Amino acid sequence: MTRYEELQEHLRSNQYTWLVTGVAGFVGSNLLENLLVLNQKVIGLDNFETGFQHNIDQALEDAREKLEVDGKELLASSFQLINGDIRVLEDCQQACKGVDYVLHEAALGSVPRSIENPIHTNKANIDGFLNMLVSAKDAEVKRFVYAASSSTYGDHPGLPKVEDRIGKPLSPYSVTKVVNELYADVFAKTYGFKTIGLRYFNIFGKRQNPNGAYAAVIPKWVSSIINNEDVFINGDGETSRDFCYIDNTIQMNFLAALVENDDATNQVYNVALGDRTSLNTLYQMVEERLIQRIDGLTKKPPIYRDFRAGDVMHSLADISKAKTLLGYQPTHKISEGLDEAMDWYVASLTNKVISS
């Protein structure tokens, strides 16, 4: 039995209260669903700036189906939603009351967004992060797990990316994520507050929004191909990324929250597959799966354009630290993740479930 399987058995028998910030977002709603399936109580905090109510509704419905229980009963007994903002200290304090574990996902993502409006990104990602740290510390939560970012590696040229070797930030977004790690480290040393940062690489999966200017590449391409729109690739397509399926990300959040080894806390970990895929190869993988699922779709070459400011050419994570200290064992390679995610993307996009 893997460490993650043991942890899941433990959670089914022991109920805790979890705070998931950004619960209406892509990662947050997937965490919500999986926590409910494991018999946990969840408080969700979101201001719905980038998240959606339908993500929460779908998470509750999926959890209900897996548990074979009444949806309203599940909502009343196990989930409480707070419509609040991490930039407001009082909202954070309210959300942290009686909480055992915090999974802090709320942030303004996107390198381009941060370049266009660095002040807005700073307020959410630094001011909001500090509000959450203070509130969680004062509420004496057992563990504060937060979404860090692979953008922290900045201009460091080395591959694979190892947690203790970073370069200079390449965007305002990257700056905010570096500051998050610095604050977490200071809170550990100053207050003895236990935190773990998870440096997400390119996470993908169901409920990832394909619309808008800052959509992630996989859902955006799926939407464009289904709607017979042009697909754009920045650069020559040989840029590579370490794409990580959402189930691997969920595993890392739970392992980080409940790890018992003190040496594993107050650390940052890469959350990735430990493999990289070029954008050209990714496009072929996405296109092939859509052609298999949708009648009438034909192959169409992508359009190449200038490389985007603030991006890096290649990204690949070393995940040995997570394996050693947390017992992380990725369950989905990119091909397996795409197989699962594609069914959801096709069903959602063809039924117009996702809104911009």
| DSSP output for 209-251 | ---STT--HHHHHHHHHHTT---EEESSS--EE-EEEHHHHHH
Both tokens assigned to 68: 């074979």
Element (H, E) at 101: strand 101-104
Q: For residue 25, give both structure tokens.
A: 């977002």
Tell me how far apart the alpha carbons of residues 244 and 96 are, in angstroms, rounded to a whole number. 29
Q: Closest Cα partner for 55 from 69, 70, 44?
A: 44
CA distance 123 to 333: 35
Catalytic annotation, pick one of 4, 153, 173, 245: 173
Paired tokens of 315? 């990204």
Which residues pair with residue 20 across a beta bridge? 44, 103
Report d(CA 226, CA 345) in Å as an integer: 10
Beta bridge partners of 145: 103, 196
The residue with tokens 């009343």 is 76
The C-alpha atoms of residue 83 and residue 68 are separated, in whole angstroms, by 28
Q: CA-CA distance, 29 to 26, in Å (whole number)?
A: 6
For residue 190, CA distances in Å to 80, 144, 146, 148 come to 32, 15, 18, 20
Kindly write down the DSSP assignment for every residue of 139-164, as one continuous string.
TT-SEEEEEEEGGGGTT---SSB-TT
200 belongs to the catalytic site: no
Give the residue numbers marked as catalytic: 173
